[in-house]
């Protein structure tokens, strides 16, 4: 899948929450009507009109310590390019064949799903949620600083 960053457009303010007892992410306010979802491990990115508008799903955040710096990012939108055909299963397109590693910095509360050491183009597409896209327009990491419940 190919992604595009648009710094000229921003989504409404949203917050990522993490429910420790459920090991789950959610976005508030949550949008129930959407086009489809992109699956990364057991995290789902919701797509509406080619824009990634929210994140939810299950993810344990106690596995590995994160020693990388959170990348600087400008606010904008993360968009999906529709130049490819996707294989869908129940309205979901799977991004990765094998699970991405999950890292957590317990001191800062930031988590990274993917490759924290890789450089790329960054965008804060949801408040405290940063996507890193490489030069091939592929998503390589999600940095998330959720509100813990």
Give per-residue pLDDT as tens, 58-102: 998 765 677 788 999 999 999 998 645 555 555 778 888 889 998
Report the number of secondary-structure helices (H) and strands (E) in the chain: 0, 15
Q: Report whether 64 contacts 101 (CB < 8 A).
A: yes
Overall pTM surpassing 0.85 (yes/no): yes
Sequence-ordered list of residues with C-beta below 8 angstroms from that of 29, at least 6 positions apart, any chain: 14
**Domain containing residue 46:** 3-148
If DSSP codes are grouped into helix, strand and coil, which group holds residue 31? Answer: coil
Tokens of residue 86, six digits:
């996707």
pLDDT value at 54 more than 90? yes
Q: Which of 23, 43, 13, 54 lies closest to 149 in space, CA to CA?
A: 23
Q: Report whether 37 contacts 91 (CB < 8 A).
A: yes
CA–CA gap between residue 12 and residue 14 (Å, rounded): 6
CA–CA gap between residue 126 and residue 143 (Å, rounded): 11
Q: Exposed, middle or buried by CB within 10 Å (0-12, 13-18, 19+), for 6?
A: middle
CA–CA gap between residue 77 and residue 50 (Å, rounded): 10
Strand partners, 52: 47
pLDDT value at 149 more than 60? no
Report the pLDDT averaged over residues 21-26: 94
pLDDT at residue 96, rounded to an integer: 82
Strand partners, 51: 48, 79
Instruction: Say how many domains are in the chain.
Output: 1
């Amino acid at each position: 899948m190919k992604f595009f960053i648009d710094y000229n457009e921003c989504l409404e303010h949203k917050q990522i929450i993490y429910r420790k007892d459920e090991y789950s992410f959610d976005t508030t306010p949550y949008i129930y009507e959407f086009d489809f979802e992109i699956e990364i491990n057991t995290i789902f990115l919701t797509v509406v009109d080619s824009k990634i508008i929210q994140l939810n799903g299950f993810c344990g955040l106690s596995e590995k310590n994160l020693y990388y710096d959170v990348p600087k990012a400008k606010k904008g939108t993360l968009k999906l390019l529709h130049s490819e055909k996707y294989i869908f299963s129940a309205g979901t397109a799977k991004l990765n064949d094998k699970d991405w590693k999950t890292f957590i910095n317990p001191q800062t509360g930031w988590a990274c799903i993917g490759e924290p050491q890789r450089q790329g183009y960054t965008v804060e597409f949801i408040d405290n949620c940063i996507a890193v896209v490489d030069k091939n327009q592929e998503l390589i990491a999600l940095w998330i600083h959720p509100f813990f419940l």
